Structure 1
Amino acid sequence: MNTPLEGVTILDFTTALAGPYCTLLLAGLGARVIKIENPRSPDTARGNSPYLGADGLKAVRDRDDDVSLAMLERGRNKWAVTLDLKHPAAGAVFADLVQKADAIVENFSAGTADRIGIGYAQASALNPRLVYTSISGFGADAQGSSQNKAMDTIVQALSGLMLTSGHPGDPPVRVGVPFGDLAAPLFATIGTLAALMQARATGRGQQVDVSLLGALSALVACEPFDAMQRTGQAARTGNAVPRLGAFGVFACADGHVSICAPTDAFTAGLFAAMGQGDLITDTRFASRDQRVANSPELYALIEAWTTRNATDDVVRALEAQGVPAAPVRNPAEAMRDPRLLRRGETVRLAHPVHGDVGEVHAGGLPIRMSASQVGFDAPPPGLGEHNNAVYGQLLGYSAEKLQALRDQGVI
């Protein structure tokens, strides 16, 4: 089957996580993503521990062909070329690349791309149909700000996310998954695809501008934390969501279980699983409003039951009553779920040379299509691996010109 983005060429001027995750998604949808790196200062992800090598996983690189797991994951299905954008001769190469491209994705600090001559104005002048996606901490228009650079922990702090988890009075909680660095590329991918559709219809490209702070704040705002506080409800409620009734994470004899019973029917099933079906007629718990008002007593009853039983037994009892429930798993267990592996939503990573040597799992592309092929089937490229293919075949440079560019340090 064809891929959804077959024939689309994207120039990838991104590093670290937020930008490369956006271009990873686009590559998984079938775009030809050309990752462009400085030959002397490549993507910092290439040097992120841990590494995978011939002898498996390791914390420190000790062989030339050891590959960072970050690059193994984020570099899949991409092509790689080298180009020193600060070299005086790089501008002509950049111009040739842009005229062959449908889109650019970059995640420089705001204003940096313009200063080095690859900003939206310069690129769109070369190719008016070009879609130019910028991912930055605070937006492409933040050049004058005293704080112009951001990483995930910074935007977690500024977005309010750190004060949504935990209990009232607890110190801020940094969420372990870098949601700021992952939310922004999701929105950037959506924006890029929408702009590509419009460019095909109108013949004009545009800039897509996504900020980490804006993306994460928009997700935090999906929960009414501010409204809850103003109406006297606690915004931080630990592992429970009392405003939804019996809804939270409870300790078991050997672990923890997540139970979601926000409706009367689910609550009746929960009480039946507990062997206390008559509680559904108890005036404290007969409606959701009453369960919310009496949540301390409700949660105490539930946990008195769960703590006496093994997690698997609790889950089976709840499933038998049709109540949504699941054991709390660690990431290693979760990544190996046969359902996820079968659907390609998680996958095993292979070393480009040595193959499947470390039993390493990573995220796949959690999108399935009935008439298109999507996902990752190519390992990450080495630094500059596709210089000949891109510069020689796509741009038509002669072998002599390529060698001259190498000798001058342009590529």
Structure 2
Amino acid sequence: MTAKILDGVVVLDLTRFFSGPQGTLFLAGLGAEVIKIDDPKTGDPTAFAPPFAGPRGVSFSRQTDEDMGIAYLKRARGKKSATLNLKSMEGREIFLRMVKHADVVVDNFSAGVADRLGVGYAALKEANPRIVYCSLTGYGSTGPDRHLKAYDLMVQAAVGLMSITGQPGSAPTKAGSPVSDAIAGVFAALGIVSALLHRDRTGEGQSIDVSMADCLFSLIFDEPLDCYPRLGLQPQQGNRIMRFSPFNAYRTRDGWITIGAATNDDWLALLEVMDRTDLKNDAHMMSVGWRLANNAKVDEVVARWAQGYTTEDIEARLAHAKLACSPVRDIHDVLRWEQMADRQMAVPLWNPLSRSNVAASGAGFPIKFTGSPAGYDQPAPLPGQHSDEVLTRLAGLDATQIEALRSARVV
């Protein structure tokens, strides 16, 4: 069987919650041996946190001893699990021995915590000069606000996303999912793969500093938000992109559909579909600049037309005219969508305690390669399932030593 792209790469994963586990999940999908290392006292905080999934379905409280956290079942796929107390001297020494046989270390501690634990980049580099170290934080490891505590809500607020989300005049609104966490995980995986390529070329490891705020801002600031006041635009544009008109979600006879005209040719084609070719003689309506400045009038034309047809009918008409459109699907519609099924983008989740699939799904691997397989070949592990194997192979411990450390709650 063809090897995965990152086969043979060993990743020591100290991350928790979402941003870090998302990044290491992608590395696991690319074939890296990702070893989750959790505190033996607390374990992974998502492993037994609501919402749960188990033999009796999903719930906010554990209905059986076999119930596990859905977030853990999603984010720990393809990974191994070991426990080690990094706050103890023995645990720290064992970890640094493991680093000698590893390629990557990832954490999402608050800024400065890794150094205080003695597992920051300086210590790791001394143990293994070729190590690639990635730190994910809310605001980065430098700057006056580096020590501020941050969750996705705070980051979306901090970099301006909440101020531009929603309909004009509405209260600040975050995106519907924790996008700053997810995006930071993607950037972390990209940074790690890039650093591994650099190491292959030069023999040198390095440290990577990933900020949730930086990552999110880099994506939203392609839009000229700082120019909006001079263009007479409000910060909140609803579903619009200020460069296109029409570009919105429109109510149909039985639901909603999104329609966008990015070029004048698109607008001409849409007029044909709507049987409004009379507007081709309207100098205002045929001017992109006028339509952008008077978008409400354009929306009124499209909205009046859309209300007379079903979503399916409009989708068929616009697809035939090669115009961009999509029905507004809820998550249940998405999971039934043949395109997602064909791409294997929703896959069953396995609960290792109940030894069965649960009534929840996880996302499939989003990148498709022609020459290499990619995906999550193994489900989430039992917490600590691989401790003995990992400590024997990477730290050189024998069974007697591991049992003594387990008794001392170091592992």
**Residues 13-57 of structure 1: per-residue CA shift (max 9 Å, x gap):** 000101100000100100000000001112222233111111222
SS in 1 for 2:213: helix
2:232 maps to 232
Contact 2:247 2:261 in 1 (8 A): yes
Q: Distance in 2 between matches of 1:281 and 1:356?
A: 60
1:41 maps to 42
SS in 1 for 2:174: coil
Q: Distance in 1 between matches of 2:184 and 2:164?
A: 19
1:369 equivalent in alignment to 2:369: yes
Contact 2:139 2:146 in 1 (8 A): no
1:198 equivalent in alignment to 2:203: no
Q: Distance in 2 between matches of 1:146 and 1:79?
A: 31
Normalised by the length of structure 2, the TM-score is 0.95
2:340 maps to 340
1:223 maps to 223
1:311 maps to 311
Contact 2:34 2:80 in 1 (8 A): yes
SS in 1 for 2:46: helix
SS in 2 for 1:257: strand
Q: Distance in 2 between matches of 1:397 and 1:276?
A: 77
1:97 equivalent in alignment to 2:95: no
Identity across the alignment (%): 36
1:379 equivalent in alignment to 2:382: no
Contact 1:107 1:134 in 2 (8 A): yes
Contact 1:50 1:60 in 2 (8 A): yes
SS in 1 for 2:187: helix
The amino acid across from 1:373 in the alignment is P
2:290 maps to 290
The amino acid across from 2:198 in the alignment is Q
Q: RMSD value over aligned CA atoms?
A: 1.6
Contact 1:285 1:294 in 2 (8 A): no
Instruction: Return the offset for 1:228.
Output: 2.1
The amino acid across from 2:262 in the alignment is P
Could you tell which deviates more after superposition, 376-385 or 281-290?
281-290
Q: Sort the Cα spacing of 1:41 and 1:56 in 2 relative to 1 into closer, same or farther, 3 A.
A: same
Q: Distance in 1 between matches of 2:19 and 2:242?
A: 34
The amino acid across from 1:166 in the alignment is G
Q: Distance in 2 between matches of 1:344 and 1:146?
A: 39
Q: Distance in 1 between matches of 2:291 and 2:242?
A: 8
The amino acid across from 1:12 in the alignment is D
Contact 1:167 1:236 in 2 (8 A): yes
The amino acid across from 2:336 in the alignment is R
Unaligned stretches of 5+ in structure 1?
none
1:158 equivalent in alignment to 2:164: no
The amino acid across from 2:304 in the alignment is A
Instruction: Return the offset for 1:145.
Output: 4.1
1:21 maps to 22
Contact 2:241 2:247 in 1 (8 A): yes
Contact 2:94 2:395 in 1 (8 A): no
SS in 1 for 2:110: coil
Structure-to-structure mapping, 1:11-410, within 5 angstroms: 11-142=12-143, 145=145, 147-352=147-352, 353-358=354-359, 360-410=360-410
Q: Sort the Cα spacing of 1:351 and 1:281 in 2 relative to 1 into closer, same or farther, 3 A.
A: farther
Q: Sort the Cα spacing of 1:336 and 1:226 in 2 relative to 1 into closer, same or farther, 3 A.
A: same
Could you tell which deviates more after superposition, 380-389 or 291-300?
291-300
SS in 2 for 1:44: coil
The amino acid across from 2:54 in the alignment is G
Normalised by the length of structure 1, the TM-score is 0.95
Instruction: Return the offset for 1:223.
Output: 1.0
Instruction: Return the offset for 1:357.
Output: 3.6
Contact 2:23 2:185 in 1 (8 A): yes
Q: Distance in 1 between matches of 2:282 and 2:319?
A: 23
Q: Sort the Cα spacing of 1:145 and 1:283 in 2 relative to 1 into closer, same or farther, 3 A.
A: closer
SS in 1 for 2:89: coil
Instruction: Return the offset for 1:146.
Output: 8.0
Runs of 4+ aligned structure 1 residues displaced above 3 Å come to 144-147, 393-396
Could you tell which deviates more after superposition, 174-183 or 308-317?
308-317
Q: Distance in 1 between matches of 2:331 and 2:191?
A: 30
Instruction: Return the offset for 1:271.
Output: 1.5
SS in 2 for 1:89: helix
Contact 2:133 2:207 in 1 (8 A): yes
Unaligned stretches of 5+ in structure 2?
none
**Residues 336-377 of structure 1: per-residue CA shift (max 9 Å, x gap):** 32222322333222323432341x222111101111010112
**Residues 89-125 of structure 1: per-residue CA shift (max 9 Å, x gap):** 1122112110110010000000001111111111111
Q: Distance in 1 between matches of 2:349 and 2:159?
A: 33
Instruction: Return the offset for 1:70.
Output: 0.2
Matched residues, number = 409
